[in-house]
Structure 1
Amino acid sequence: MFNFPFRGKLTTGCRPAPGNRLFGTNHRAGSRPCGDPMHATTSPHSGRPSALSLARYACSNPMRALGRKAYRRLPTALTLAALLSGTPALPDQDAETGAPIAGLAVGLDALRWQSHTSLVAEFMDYHQLGLRWLRTDLNWASVQSAGPDSYDWRDMDRIVAMARMHDMKVLPAVGSLPDWAWTTDADGRKIRDARAFGRFMQAAAERYAPQNIHVWEIWNEPNLQGPFPPHPDASAYAALLKEAAAAIRDTDPGAIVLLGGLAAVMVTDLDGDPAAISALDFLETIYAEGAGSSFDAVGFHPYTGTALPDPSDPQNGWGLMSGPLRDIMAANGDGSKPIWVTEYGAPTNIGGGGTSHDDQARMLGSAADLAQRTPWIDALFWYSYRDLGDDPQNREDWFGLIDAQGHPKPARAAFERILLQLQKVR
């Protein structure tokens, strides 16, 4: 079990067992294997990041350009009190603003097992929320399960079509190696050939760029063992990132490539359970491997346990991101590159160490306020849409805006107001 930090104290990780997250193993009943056992797919409401994306990629002409247009953040309009009130104050509509993207990220396995009727109902609720960005995983192991020359896009096609029907943009978080992409030598199991991933990403970009997908997140939490078995390997990831970026840019020159959302791990421990590499060590290695030019923004998951996000606290996921992570980017000439917060959230199993419903809403509002006031944050995705279950000791079950029975929590109304507010100021 990957321990969830409380009161913002991060040790080797920042939230519950990564096995339930993108490209990890879900041990809940009804799970279905797909590709490598560490990448088992799951039942309809499996644990995939539903994330609120509160950032707008305000780039000048081509999407991949790093220079953001000059803009002024709204210093007072999107304060926490305004966001959580029923009638938040509106800013001066004539002021030039840099309102960030606001969206929700859910996983492929939270959607693909659903019946057509239930999927339509869920997307209708997204629409009711005012959602314009949806993050979901594109599972390489699923698409190419039958071999390197096979492609089965049906699961992703169904979700992309539903999103387009509701005028939503999709951010795919791509990952999970198929069985045939592994090899074993004296040192253990390794990725056979990073170029195979490049070929897959070229096919994906060719298929989905015409469907208005121009932002790609390469893997999810690659600094954790679950999403990157048999153990995290920054050098191996750098090789995948290079191949992916080259393939995407060759196909869609204006596309944005995100370095896979790093978990806010503070201490590297390759002998831990699970093994983990600190976000700082991982990013340093990416630069050392010459992959700094292969991403346009850093994806990060600054979970803070039950504490509010606090950029000034080095033991808080938000502080790790705002301080040492940004310092590493600046030291490598990437001070102008933005960060996309592709997951942030809090569980509401208060009896099992989570937070209250009201405090979850406050954390959402605080994160939205910080994203709005931080020039280098281009996106904030809230995790997640629906609770996955009701086990009081399983924090992974409790991150939703609504509970497992579909009843809304206060965070849902707060999220809807945030989305409405950001729509108005753009």
Structure 2
Amino acid sequence: MTGRFVHSGWVALALVALVVALGAPQPAQAGKIDSLLLPEGIEDTPPGKRDVNLLDPEPWNGSWARPGHRPLGVNFTSYDLTQEQIDAAKATGCRMVRIELPMERFISQAEPDWAVLDVVVSRLGRAGLEVVPVLTAKSVVPQFYREFCESVAARYARSFRYYQILDNVNVQPGLYTRDYVELLIKVKLAITLADPDARIVTGGIRGADMIYLDLLEAQGAKDCFDVIAFNVYPPMAGIEGEVPGLRRDHCIPRFDEVCQWAAERGKAVWVTSLGVSTAYGGFGVDQLDQASAYARSALWLGWHGVERIFFAAIQDNDPSYSRPALSCGLLDVSGRPKASYHALKKLNRMISNAYHVDPVFSDRGAIYQVPDAATLMSIPPGELPEFDPYADYMLHGVKVFGFWFYEPDLQEYRLVYWLERYLVYDVIVSVGIRQDGLTPLEASLLLDDQPQELDGDELWDFTLVSYVPISTLPGIIRYRVDPDE
């Protein structure tokens, strides 16, 4: 499976493994390719020369496969936005934003804040950003809350398509599952009467809480919503694997079960808040780790079947950086871009209009430690290997993860890859593809200013891309489909 690995210097980066096992017993009658004996009945054609259609492969799942679909979004923590915040959100490449609307600011018993919201919704629309309102309340009084939701839908039916009903519903004090389902039934009716095309999003469920999902279904919530939403705050070690303890439900692999549950019931899955904090005091990570975690988490969630992922905040809101929940932004408190902001911009460019695929070809990758200058200088002249100066530095037991994407308009395959953990020395990777008709174009990490142009080496039946950077921060190799070559 894409993203899986083998414990050696040669690392599997794609879904399709090589089908010929070296050293395996062979039948007496066989064809021959160089030194490999093939079982009887298999054509003696190099694997890379098969007549394979590389154009428009089937998507791995339907979550990111629609033309023009942009799966990544961002959260605003207030609806009273500045133009700078709106511009920053648009510049990320995201096309959907999520805004909290507290009931207490809009009910008729108070002085409704419609004028401010009207301006913000208009500005966001002109910027090409679709708004998902989160209809929150400090204290849920069903009558007032229903009137509030109906008022929002009636006023913004032309601007809003989705309406999210509360947030963090499985941890909100005093809000039992039965009460929430009853509220959903009433609110959906009120909203759809005002906006017949409305789609209902559940309040974000903290973590992959399967027990809460089963309770929702048992209480009859199935017909009350279109999208089931989650809020996830993964530990760094919980992106590719699971870790024990209280945050196990926030580990990304848990969403494989969630997405299967939702697919069986015809529901879409969103992550409406994906948070990784840069708070101080041991509660957060540094900016580079945040950028890495955000990119890797989004890629894995899409692989599992999550349709949309919203990053927790456009901007940090705690100048002291002592409160983790307020330090998950893409901008710091002064509005300066963090590493995650730049990484998200590039990731959006790479995956917009692209989708996860299970490629018809196979590939292999080898990772190497980059020897430092002092080590190379210590080797006597003439003793460096002529073909591969890094051969003695191949790494073993280091995991590499990778996903393949296909972009139909440009007819490109894109390999997104990264290391499992930070290493104290620089590392490079070589990738070979056993399929002709693919021309490597460029390689870069998400924070690189300029990509590295590639000239692939044609070696018999595969194309080799040699010595491109690899890190815990994802990198991307682009390949153009040239079916006539």
8 A Cα contact 1:308 1:363, kept in partner: no
For 2:235, what is the secondary structure of its paired residue? Answer: coil
Counterpart CA distance in 2 for 1:249 and 1:289 is 21
What are the equivalent positions in structure 2 for 1:204-243 lying under 5 Å apart? 204-211=152-159, 213-225=160-172, 229=173, 231-243=174-186
8 A Cα contact 1:301 1:341, kept in partner: yes
* Aligned partner of 1:416 among 345, 360, 366: 345
8 A Cα contact 1:352 1:393, kept in partner: no
Counterpart CA distance in 1 for 2:330 and 2:283 is 18
Determine which structure has more spread, i.e. the larger CA radius of gyration.
2
* Aligned partner of 1:406 among 335, 339, 348: 335
Q: 1:402 to 1:153 in 2, by over 3 A?
A: same
2:148 is aligned to 200
Counterpart CA distance in 2 for 1:380 and 1:174 is 19
The answer to whether residue 76 in structure 2 is matched with residue 106 in structure 1 is: yes
1:156 is aligned to 117
Kindly state the Cα deviation for residue 161 of structure 1 after the two structures are TM-superposed.
1.4
Q: 1:128 to 1:367 in 2, by over 3 A?
A: same
> Aligned partner of 1:291: which letter?
A
Counterpart CA distance in 2 for 1:239 and 1:74 is 33
8 A Cα contact 2:280 2:322, kept in partner: no
Counterpart CA distance in 1 for 2:282 and 2:99 is 28
8 A Cα contact 2:150 2:190, kept in partner: yes
8 A Cα contact 1:171 1:216, kept in partner: yes
> Aligned partner of 1:321: which letter?
F
* Aligned partner of 1:341 among 247, 267, 271: 271
> Aligned partner of 1:409: which letter?
K
What TM-score, normalized by structure 1, do the two folds share? Answer: 0.62
Kindly state the Cα deviation for residue 296 of structure 1 after the two structures are TM-superposed.
0.7
Counterpart CA distance in 1 for 2:268 and 2:242 is 19
Counterpart CA distance in 1 for 2:93 and 2:261 is 36
For 1:134, what is the secondary structure of its paired residue? Answer: strand
Kindly state the Cα deviation for residue 295 of structure 1 after the two structures are TM-superposed.
0.6
> Aligned partner of 1:421: which letter?
M
Kindly state the Cα deviation for residue 196 of structure 1 after the two structures are TM-superposed.
4.0
For 1:380, what is the secondary structure of its paired residue? Answer: strand
Kindly state the Cα deviation for residue 337 of structure 1 after the two structures are TM-superposed.
1.4
Q: 1:316 to 1:199 in 2, by over 3 A?
A: closer
For 2:166, what is the secondary structure of its paired residue? Answer: strand
Counterpart CA distance in 1 for 2:240 and 2:194 is 39
Counterpart CA distance in 1 for 2:66 and 2:136 is 37
Matched residue count: 294
Kindly state the Cα deviation for residue 386 of structure 1 after the two structures are TM-superposed.
1.2
Kindly state the Cα deviation for residue 424 of structure 1 after the two structures are TM-superposed.
4.7
2:129 is aligned to 168
1:388 is aligned to 317
Q: Deviations over 1:64-98 (max 9, x none)?
A: xxxxxx961499xx9xxxxxxxxxxxxxxxx9768
Kindly state the Cα deviation for residue 101 of structure 1 after the two structures are TM-superposed.
2.1
8 A Cα contact 2:98 2:134, kept in partner: yes
Larger relative helix fraction: 1
The answer to whether residue 320 in structure 2 is matched with residue 320 in structure 1 is: no
Q: Deviations over 1:144-197 (max 9, x none)?
A: 1626xx75422322321110121110011111056xxxxxxxxxxxx55x3543
The answer to whether residue 203 in structure 2 is matched with residue 244 in structure 1 is: no
8 A Cα contact 2:68 2:352, kept in partner: no
Q: Deviations over 1:314-369 (max 9, x none)?
A: 8251233322x446546xx51x3121110102111254321121111111111221
2:196 is aligned to 253
8 A Cα contact 2:237 2:243, kept in partner: no
Counterpart CA distance in 1 for 2:157 and 2:259 is 30
The answer to whether residue 67 in structure 2 is matched with residue 133 in structure 1 is: no
Counterpart CA distance in 2 for 1:244 and 1:311 is 38
For 1:307, what is the secondary structure of its paired residue? Answer: helix
Q: Which has the higher contact order (CA 8 A, sep 6+)?
A: 1
Kindly state the Cα deviation for residue 199 of structure 1 after the two structures are TM-superposed.
3.1
Counterpart CA distance in 2 for 1:248 and 1:97 is 29
* Aligned partner of 2:229 among 295, 299, 315: 299
1:72 is aligned to 59
Counterpart CA distance in 2 for 1:350 and 1:395 is 8
Q: Deviations over 1:92-142 (max 9, x none)?
A: xxx97685522111122xx42x6xxxx112212223223311101121111
8 A Cα contact 1:238 1:289, kept in partner: yes
The answer to whether residue 72 in structure 2 is matched with residue 124 in structure 1 is: no
8 A Cα contact 1:346 1:399, kept in partner: yes
1:356 is aligned to 286
2:476 is aligned to none
8 A Cα contact 2:85 2:314, kept in partner: no
CA RMSD of aligned residues (A): 3.0
